[in-house]
């Protein structure tokens, strides 16, 4: 794609900034997706990993402090995942991992449990106050951390149970995703939606994306996904297989 083709689908302020930055210009011109569907390259942040996120500062600065706060968290993601950024390719060459991720350390176990407790309270509040339903989770739930083969086995079991009547009451993430999907943006911040796919592709994680965008949403609610982000930074993904059971996968 040429930058002129990209400009048709980008906000004027973005296009001017991209044209003035050779690296951003190259990334957008190499964008091969349907621009009408995805005006922003879905792997934009991967193309800027390992120290180049600052190239986006002029774009995020267009949205004031909320935009700069989002950039700061992207910088943090880039920094904490730098040790896992490089991967060994089959031909012996070194490449970059397709997604950002971190590794869990046992020293963070208590911090992880604290984040889980806070996240459960946030979820229960959303279900009670916004969905007008009963709280789905036990705030004193048992917390288990699984890694290696045990984690893989759990994921296989969870995928098999997904969508079944047995598991319907605890499909918390799906409800949260639908809730956020329908949330409007604040006036003047709507353009950030163009980055939704790129934010999702940071880690194939919708809730991480919604956390990063939260200040752009037209809501006075405190961001309920902060503890979710803390768990992600610790290298953990959270699942609720039962009302009184939490599984963290490292």
Per-residue pLDDT of 9-54, as tens digits, reads: 888 899 999 999 999 999 998 886 666 678 899 999 999 998 999 9
Per-residue pLDDT of 81-93, as tens digits, reads: 998 887 777 777 7
User: What residues does each domain of the chain span?
Assistant: 3-96, 106-183+219-249
First to last CA, the chain: 39
Cα–Cα distances in Å, from 1 out to 7, 8, 89? Answer: 10, 11, 28
- pLDDT at position 170: 62
pTM: 0.91
Determine how many CB atoms are found less than 10 A away from the CB of residue 195.
24
Question: Which stretches of the chain drop beneath a pLDDT of 50?
Answer: 168
Listed residue (93, 60, 90, 42) closest to 204, CA to CA: 42
Contact 229, 222 (CB under 8 A): no
Cα–Cα distances in Å, from 250 out to 79, 87, 166? Answer: 19, 18, 25
- pLDDT at position 36: 65
Alpha-carbon distance of 18 to 245, in angstroms, equals: 47
Give residue for tokens 């047995």: 166
- pLDDT at position 166: 57
Average pLDDT, the chain: 90
- pLDDT at position 34: 65
In a 13 Å sphere around the CA of 177, the CA atoms on its Cβ side amount to 11
- pLDDT at position 90: 77
Query: Where are the alpha helices (H) located in the chain, listed in sequence order?
Result: 3-7, 12-19, 22-29, 44-47, 57-61, 64-80, 109-129, 148-161, 172-181, 196-200, 206-213, 226-233
Determine how many CB atoms are found less than 10 A away from the CB of residue 180.
19
Mapped onto helix, strand or coil, the DSSP state of residue 55 is helix
């Amino acid at each position: 794609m040429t930058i002129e083709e990209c400009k048709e689908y980008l906000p004027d302020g973005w296009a001017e900034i991209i044209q003035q930055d050779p690296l951003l210009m190259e990334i957008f011109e190499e964008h091969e997706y349907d621009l009408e569907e995805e005006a922003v390259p879905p792997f934009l942040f991967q193309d800027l990993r390992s120290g180049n996120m600052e190239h986006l500062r002029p774009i995020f600065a267009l949205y004031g402090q909320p935009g700069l706060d989002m950039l700061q968290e992207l910088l943090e993601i880039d920094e904490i995942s730098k040790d896992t950024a490089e991967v060994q390719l089959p031909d012996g060459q070194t490449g970059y991992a397709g997604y950002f991720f971190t590794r869990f350390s046992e020293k963070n176990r208590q911090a992880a449990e604290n984040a889980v407790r806070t996240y459960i309270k946030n979820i229960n509040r959303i279900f009670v106050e916004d969905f007008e339903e009963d709280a789905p989770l036990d705030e004193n739930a048992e917390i288990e951390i699984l890694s290696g083969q045990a984690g893989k086995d759990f994921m296989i079991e969870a995928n098999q149970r997904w969508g079944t009547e047995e598991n319907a009451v605890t499909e918390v993430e799906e409800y949260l995703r639908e809730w956020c999907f329908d949330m409007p943006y604040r006036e003047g911040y709507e353009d950030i939606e163009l980055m939704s796919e790129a934010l999702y592709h940071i880690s194939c994680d919708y809730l991480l994306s919604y956390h990063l965008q939260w200040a752009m949403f037209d809501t006075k609610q405190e961001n309920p996904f902060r503890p979710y982000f803390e768990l992600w930074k610790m290298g953990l993904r959270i699942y609720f297989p039962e009302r009184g059971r939490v599984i963290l996968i490292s």
